[in-house]
Amino acid sequence: MGSTNSTLLKIPNVEVLMQETGFSPAHIIRLHDRFKALDKEGRGYLCPQDFGAIKELAMNPIGDRIIGAFFSPGKETVDFHAFVKILAHFRPVDKDRPKEPNSPEPINSRSNKLKFAFQLYDQDKDGKISRDELLKVLRAMLGMQVTEEQLESIADRTIQEADLDRDDAISFEEFRKSLEKVNIDHKMSIRFLR
Amino acid sequence: MAFLRQFTLILALLVVFSTSCRAATLEVDSVEKGHNLSSKSSATEDTSTSTNDSTGGHGTSTISTLPIVIWKWHHVETPYLVALWILTCWLCKLVVELNHNVTNVFPESGLLIILGFILGGIVWGADKVQTFRLIPVNFFYYLLPQIVLDASYCMPNKLFFSNLGAILVHAVIGTCWNAGTVGIALWACYEGGAMGNLNIGCLQFLLFGALMSAVDPVAVIAVFEEVHVNEVLYILVFGESLLNDGVTVVLYNVFDAFVSLGGPKINAAEIIKGIVSFFVVAFGGSFLGVVFAVLISMLTRITKNIQVIEAGFIIVLGYLSYLTAEMLSLSAILSITFCGVCCQKYINANMDEKSVTTLRYTLKMMANGSETMIFVFLGLSAIDKNIWVWNTGFILLTLLFVVLFRFIGVFTLNWILNRSRLIPIDYVDQFVMGYGGLRGAVAYGLAATLDEKKIPEKNLMLGTTLIVVYFTVILQGITMKPLVQWLKVKKASQSDLTLNGKMNNRAFEHILTAMEDICGRMGDNWWTRHWNYFEDKYVCWLLMKSNARKHKDPIFGAFHKLNLEDAKTYVTEGERKGSLAFIRNFDNASVDFKKKLALEYADLMPDIMADMSEYDFGIDNVPVNSVMKNQIPSVSLDMYEQDRKGMPDELSAHHLLDQHLYKSRSHNRPTYSRSHYNTTENPDEMQEIFQRTMRSRLESFKSAKMGVNPAKKLSKHPKKDSTHKPNGKPADPHRTHPYGDEDFEFSADSASSSEIAGHFPRRSTPGSGVDNPSFIPEMDTSPPMRNPPWQTETGNNAAVAPSQRAQGRLPWTPTNLRHVEPPRMNTHSTDTFVMGDASVNEEAPERKPGTNQTKL
């Protein structure tokens, strides 16, 4: 227990972090270890290159986008707090924890999870997934299995499906509506972050 | 009327049934009494007697004259009885299913058992002895494999494997727990004196516990299929019931061996052997199943030329996997289960779609049929005085322990599982899982195989098993539905297939794996991903046809399926409308559908258009595409005018199709072929069609690719157009369009026949449509480079699309379906569509006077 405390003490503002993310001290320590392992040069922050060094991530078709999601616009680095906050999106929703009425929306709420997914599509950050943006993601995910022509039809159709105001793009509201029936809590949660 | 029908059916059932009974009586007379012929008596068992009889019956008798007809009952006896019994059982199902008010309350399985009681009573009444009963050999070799194969082949794979851990825990540990506790508790009660004096030892009790431990897949499928609980709960109960049969049989064999060995000989070594054999049997069986699955998948790669029997391979090989496992004394049920589960993906990809459908229906038919037979015979077997040895204590205690320990086991195991599950199983679901522990035919089959020499109280066990089966299937089956409703168990959500859902699912998977990578943990997604990678690279290469491999992407699959659905709705709508006109209504088609049609029509459109342009301008050199584009505005906005055009347009549509569709040259020859039932297609014909299609496709592709958008050419001719404009043609309300607007006119009966005569000739006069201004801007300003060729083609086809307003008024247009909305090529065209919608008030023509002229 002593080592636990000492590790925790090394992290600045750890109480605030735990409060915001809902992670337990064990999680924080585990993530901190991982953070230090990724931060090979010990600078206290991570660069996109640090993420790029993860071998499996390079195989991920939308890996770049996911790495990009860690960096807030204009910034080239991510510190531990931001790192944990991003990962907190994937903490399973806990039903047992009593909900305080005046507490802010937790990071792992449904709409925050959705927002995270949405911004992966919406690369130009205009609040809308345009046809081109969608096409890029689809191309990455479907790869060589379908022809370009089919890809475009799929993109068209996907947009038609979700597009309620007929502006040929999917806004976040439309995105949320199209996934209304999907159990996001289950699909965007990682077990060991519980 | 309904009553009459019901009555007739019951009558028919009785007739059939009495035939089989009569047959039985005959048979009982000839064969020595006491020989138990089971209904579905295996041919192997009875052929000897029947052949003997047949030779004795009429073979030896010297004939004095040529007999015209001979009564040869014994020739056909066995197969005849089998067929009659199958018919009887299926008629039972028919009777049961007659009234849905009854089946809504009682589960079908329970009703079948009750009908079985009645039939058994009749047999008993006729023969004074139960001539027919379910004998284990028939059950395990002929009835069960079909059901398990069907269940495993139709298993929702992803769900199954993602819950495999929980299923295995329940199936293995849960079953062992049930077997052990029920056996020991019964034994303890016996020692305590609760059952009087019975000749049963501890090991026999354990054996009995083992045979009672299995949750029966047949009963579970029958009951749970009707209640629609949520997927996870369903797969847990169902998967458990499938896998634990294997475990039960293994346990049964181990205990059976122990019983044969006798108590004193059992030492630690034997027990360890038992445990080892348990694992060998279970895993060996599963492994054998996987081997057979690989064999089947590889075989279906090369069965293209014998498509008709392709589906049969799966059934035969699946059955062989069962028998092989049985031969090697491995778990046959596990073998066939894993065979079905593992091969389904690859064979579905390898085989022709027709074969897949055939296979699916055949399996369903066989499984349903044998399930019906099992239940009827479970009921029928009970009507036998010989098997009933009543011991209240034993029976009631068994019932109690079976239910009690099932609940305890389920709750304990789920509590352990929930500690590590992402989505915990909640208490209501756990309760239903416990309640769903239905015992069925497997338990009965095992009880019937007990050896009376080793277990003196076999009949008591058999009777008790039957009572437990009836209790669980009938009572728990009936109460399951109300219980599920009362507890508000989460039902299976009917989520419709959407591309967004599919696509985002994929995205979520990638996101989760990425996050796991970043966290440096090997979570579930890590395994999934690596398996997928491995499967893509090696397994699919080995087991799938190369062309099947390309089309297996689920997103594309969803896309394809949606389009097929659209096409179907489309055709249905059109048929309801009673004409082909719906084909013209391209704007309602989904993207892919349009593409198809565009390709089909590509070759005929230019011709027509060219004809017309020639007439109109006297020029041939107008680029075909531009003329076609010009047709687009020609959709009329005037409803009253359209009213009068209905009939002629239909005629013209027919004419058009007649002229331009490819005529089949080789008509279907009335040939009969055993191995093919295709329409005879001439390869030359196919090639010609192909070439025609390709040619037109290429042309349009060129024009689209090179940026020479037809719409641009259009702008070269405005002068020409304007010269025609003064003729007032575009504004002429009486001018009809060659073949536009059919869609909405069929509801208009005002088209009198006289007008047909009046209109028809006129349509050969160069028709140029009334402008639909809402279309024009799109045509002028859309050289969308990214438009695939077929989309440009679509533009052409829009020439025959109804105006926006008219479309809106179509009584049958599925405008409420979001996915059949007009395609929007770009934002600009969206605007025009919006305007088109707004243009209901006929102020449209003056909105863009300049562009309006871009017409023929």
Q: What is the spatial distance between Cα B853 and Cα B832, in angstroms, rounded to a whole number?
A: 17
Average pLDDT over residues B293-307: 87
Cα torsion at B101, B105, B106, B109 (round to 10°)?
Answer: 80
Give the three-class secondary structure for B76: helix
B452 pLDDT tier (thresholds 50, 70, 90)? confident
Residue A6 burial (C-beta neighbours within 10 Å; 0-12, 13-18, 19+): exposed
Most confident option among B184-193, B267-276, B287-296, B547-556: B287-296
Q: How far apart are CA B234 and CA B160, in angstroms?
A: 10
CA B753, CA B644: separation in Å to the nearest integer?
10
Query: Please, which residues bridge with residue A128 across strands?
Result: A171
For chain B, positions 402-421, list CB contacts with chain A under 8 A. Answer: 420-421
Q: Between residues B666 and B134, which one has the greater pLDDT?
A: B134
Of A29, A30, A53, nearest to A41 by C-alpha is A53
Q: pLDDT > 70: what percent of chain A? A: 86
Strand partners, B744: none
Q: A165 with A174: CB under 8 angstroms?
A: yes
What is the distance between the terminal CA atoms of chain A, rounded to a whole angstrom?
20
Contact between A157 and B499 using a beta-carbon 8 Å cutoff: yes
Q: Are B696 and B711 in contact (CB under 8 A)?
A: no
Mutation site, A65, A182, A186, interface B, largest B CB count within 10 A: A182
Token look-up 């416990």 returns: B434
- How many residues can be counted in chain B? 856
Place of tokens 């998967």: B239
Q: Is B638 on the interface with A (CB under 8 A)?
A: no
CA distances from B820 to A159, B585, B594, B824 (A): 12, 11, 11, 11
CB contact under 8 A, A166 and B520: no
Neighbours of B96 (CB within 10 A): 22
CB neighbour class for B30 (10 Å; exposed up to 12, middle 13-18, buried from 19) = middle
Percentage of the residues of chain A whose pLDDT score is greater than 90: 0
CA-nearest residue to B501 within chain A is A179
| Spatial separation of the C-alpha atoms in residues B219 and B215, rounded to whole Å | 8
What's the pLDDT at B327? 92
Say what the pLDDT of residue B708 is.
46
Phi, psi of A46 (to 5 degrees): -115, 145
pLDDT attached to residue A123? 79
Nearest by Cα to B502 from A162, A29, A112, A172 = A162
Helix (H) or strand (E) holding A45: strand A45-46
pLDDT in tens, A21-79: 777 888 888 888 888 888 777 777 888 777 777 777 777 778 778 887 788 777 777 88
What are B102's two structure tokens?
């009854």
Higher pLDDT, B369 or B781: B369
Nearest to A175 by CA among B494, A184, B841, B403: A184
Cα torsion B691, B692, B698, B699 to 10°: value is 150
pLDDT digits over B826-843, tens only?
444 444 444 444 444 444
Q: How confident is the model at residue B290 (pLDDT cuts 50, 70, 90)?
A: very high
Q: CA-to-CA distance for B513 and B154, rounded, in angstroms? A: 28
Three-class DSSP category at A169: strand
Q: Is pTM beyond 0.90 here?
A: no
Closest Cβ–Cβ partner in A34, A182, A191 for B520: A34
How big is the A-B interface in CB pairs under 8 Å? 154
H or E element, residue A171:
strand A169-171
User: Are residues A57 and B517 in contact, defined by beta-carbon separation less than 8 angstroms?
Assistant: yes
Which phi and psi angles does B728 have, rounded to 5°? Answer: 75, 10
Contact B233, B159 (CB under 8 A): no
Chain B nearest-CA residue for A116: B511
Q: Does the pLDDT of residue B551 top 90, yes or no?
A: no
Interface test with B, best of A132, A137, A156 (most B CBs within 10 A): A156
Per-residue pLDDT at B628 exceeds 60: no
Instruction: From residue B196, give the alpha-carbon distance in Å to each of B97, B393, B438, B461, B669.
Output: 44, 8, 28, 15, 78
Confidence of residue B684 (pLDDT cuts 50, 70, 90): low
**Consecutive H or E run containing A78:** strand A78-79
pLDDT band at B44 (very low <50, low <70, confident <90, very high): very low
What band does B624 get if pLDDT is binned at 50, 70 and 90?
very low
What does the pLDDT look like over B316-340, one tens digit per residue?
999 999 999 999 988 888 899 999 9
Closest partner CB to A189 (pick from B422, B555, B819): B422
Burial B119-130 (b: 16+ CB within 10 A, else e): bbebbbeeeeeb
For residue A149, which residues of chain B lie inside 8 Å, CB to CB? 788, 790
Burial per residue of B142-159, b for 16 or more beta-carbon CB atoms within 10 angstroms, e otherwise: ebbbbbbbbbbbbbbeeb
- Cβ separation B519–A157 shorter than 8 A: no
Q: What is the DSSP string of B443-468?
A: HHHHHHH--TTT-TTHHHHHHHHHHH
| DSSP bridge partners of A169 | A130
Is pLDDT above 50 for B743?
no
Tokens of B178: 């049930």
Short-list A154, A4, A158, CA closest to B788: A154
Tally of CB atoms within 10 A around A194: 16
How does the average pLDDT of chain A come out, rounded?
77
* Residue B18, both tokens: 């009495």
User: Best interface-test mutation with A: which of B158, B159, B495, B511 has the largest number of A CBs within 10 A?
Assistant: B511
Provide the CB-side half-sphere exposure for A120 (13 A, CA).
Answer: 27
Q: Which of A119, A158, A173 has the most B C-beta neighbours within 10 Å, making it the best mutation to test the interface with B? A: A158
- The pLDDT, as a whole number, for residue B720 is 42
Closest listed residue to residue B789, CA positions, set B722, B721, B701, B707: B701
**Kind and range of the H or E element at B691?**
helix B683-705
CA distance A104 to chain B (A): 24
* pLDDT above 70 as % of chain B: 58
Q: Is B262's pLDDT higher than 80?
A: no
Give B247's pLDDT tier (boundaries 50, 70, 90).
confident
B51 sits in which H/E element: helix B43-54
Per residue in A109-136, pLDDT (tens digit) is: 778 888 888 888 887 778 888 888 888 8
Helices (H), B328-418: 332-350, 353-382, 392-418
Inter-CA distances, B490 with A180, B240, B427, B484, Å = 17, 19, 12, 9
A51 alpha-carbon distance from chain centroid: 14
Q: Are A154 and B559 a contacting pair at CB < 8 A? A: yes
In this prediction, residues B755-761 reach a mean pLDDT of: 41
Q: What is the mean pLDDT of residues B151-165?
A: 86
> What is the nearest CA distance from B532 to chain A, expressed in angstroms?
13
Calpha distance B203→B217 (Å, rounded): 26
Is B504 touching A (CB cutoff 8 A)? yes
**Gap between the Cα atoms of B157 and B231, Å rounded:** 12
Q: What span, in angstroms and rounded, lies between the C-alpha atoms of A89 and A188?
A: 8
**Angle ∠(A156,A160,A163) on CA atoms, nearest 5:** 125
Please say whether the beta carbons of B757 and B644 come within 8 A: no
Q: Put residue B751 in one of left, alpha, beta given phi > 0 → left and psi -120 to 50 → alpha.
A: beta
Distance, CA of B42 to CA of A73 (rounded, Å): 76
Q: How far apart are the C-alpha atoms of B129 and B132, rounded to whole Å?
A: 9
Rounded Cα distance between A33 and B358, Å, is 56
Angstrom distance (rounded) from CA B748 to CA B44: 70
> Which residues of chain B make contact with A187, given a CB cutoff of 8 A?
505, 508, 512
Record the tokens describing residue A91, joined without a space.
């903490």
Determine the residue type at B156. P
Q: What is the DSSP letter of A93?
A: P
Q: Is B63 helix (H, G, I), strand (E, B) or coil?
A: coil
At residue A104, what are phi and psi to the nearest 5 degrees?
-70, 160
